[in-house]
Chain A
Amino acid sequence: MLAHIVTFAIGMVFALGFGLGGVADPATIVGFLDFLGDWNPSVALVMVTAVAVTSVAYRLMFRHRTKPVLATRFAVPTRRDIDRRLVLGAVVFGFGWGLAGLCPGPALAALGSGSLPVVVFLAAMVGGMLAFGTWDRASARRAAAAKAEPASVTPAPSVVERGRPAASGARVATRARRGGSAGAAELVLS
């Protein structure tokens, strides 16, 4: 219960931060991203400030604490590999962000204004998230099926190019194509 009150309060703090920082208005974001136009650098200031505060706070807490206050462990991401999904995802996300001038947090904060464009954005965002889930599960199934039928996959070439089809056209199932994000540590670039 206390934990939920705390996360509710943290949510409110984020909304205030997004709103006061100006990023609930798409014009601020687009004005920042369109740096060749009438440049609005304020988003840079918001982000640099946020990163600075978070960075200092993270350092202090990781040095002086072994666990968070209300949970059993610090759930910090462990992956360090740059894979195709990361880059492609960022390209796609960034393009949508640049088109609409909105991203998930500020859009949710703006929902309280009842603005129709914000509602449409959020509904479509949910649609995009769900579509990803479907696509991800389907590609995991394809990868698992390819693995389970070795006779139907041509022998792997001696140099395995991850993420590319083998010359004959059969796909080499690799960890890179598995759905979800198992903590694979290999560098996968294509």
Chain B
Amino acid sequence: MDTSTVLYSILGGLLVGLGAAAMMFMSGRIAGMSGIFSGLLKPKPGDFGWRLSFALGILAGGALLFALRPDLFTFGVSRSLPAIAIAGALVGFGARLGSGCTSGHGVCGVARLGPRSLVATATFMASGALAAFLVNHVLGGSI
């Protein structure tokens, strides 16, 4: 990693950590993206507004950053749309089945040393590594 990557990675991590801390400090919630988004799909009264504003904030923040630094949003891997769709479906289904994703388990849960999150994180890292290995070393790097 060059210096610039190191600095940006640390900065990114600081902001994600700040966001997770703020979510708990202000709203008393785990900042688990999959949990927050899936709650948008089956809206319950009183439980919808904050999820929507959070999602809109992410969208707005991303759009703003894209305007300033479009290079951060390059889609740098060779993937067909059907492959992406399959991957997306697995991510959505798996996150709900496993009660969380990289932010909920990987950041918030690990920060709490929650046994479920420690196991989930280790598991999805291994599973992700397998997928990446298969694509890059068995299937030629693009699917």
Contacts and interface: CB of A to CB of B under 8 A. Distances in A.
A86 B13 contact: no
A44 to B, nearest CB: 8
A30 B97 contact: no
Interface in A65-107: 65, 67-77, 79-82, 85-105, 107
Q: How large is the interface on B (under 10, 10 to 19, 20 to 34, 35 or more residues)?
A: 35 or more
Contacts of B42: 133
Q: Which of B13, B26, B115 has the most chain A CB atoms closer than 10 A to its own CB?
A: B13
Contacts of B114: 77, 80
Interface in A6-29: 6-29
A145 interface: no
B96 A129 contact: yes
Interface in B62-110: 62-66, 69-70, 72-77, 79, 81, 83-99, 101-103, 105-110
A11 B119 CA distance: 27
Nearest to A71: B28
B41 A130 contact: yes
Q: What's the dominant secondary structure at chain B's contact region? A: helix
Interface stretch (A119-127, A146-154, A170-178): A119-127
B99 to A, nearest CB: 6
Contacts of A33: 125, 128-129, 131-133
A55 B20 CA distance: 10
Given A55-B111, A110-B62, A90 B24 contact: no
Contacts of A15: 57-62, 64-65
Interface string A45-74: 111111111110110010001011111111
A45 B133 CA distance: 21
A22 B12 contact: yes
A43 B143 CA distance: 22
Nearest to B52: A4
Contact of A8 (B9, B28, B54, B76): B54
A93 B90 contact: yes
B59 to A, nearest CB: 6
A27 B6 contact: no
A21 B112 CA distance: 22
Q: Which of A21, A82, A116, A126 has the most chain B CB atoms closer than 10 A to its own CB?
A: A21
B92 A98 contact: no
Contact of B124 (A8, A91, A126, A131): A91
A14 B36 CA distance: 13
Given A3-B27, A81-B116, A92-B93, A11 B54 contact: yes
Interface in B1-50: 1, 5-6, 8-31, 33-34, 37-38, 41-42, 49-50
Interface of B: 1, 5-6, 8-31, 33-34, 37-38, 41-42, 49-50, 53-66, 69-70, 72-77, 79, 81, 83-99, 101-103, 105-112, 114-116, 119-121, 123-133, 135-137, 143
11 contacts: A11-B55, A19-B73, A22-B12, A42-B6, A89-B94, A89-B96, A93-B124, A95-B90, A104-B95, A109-B62, A115-B73
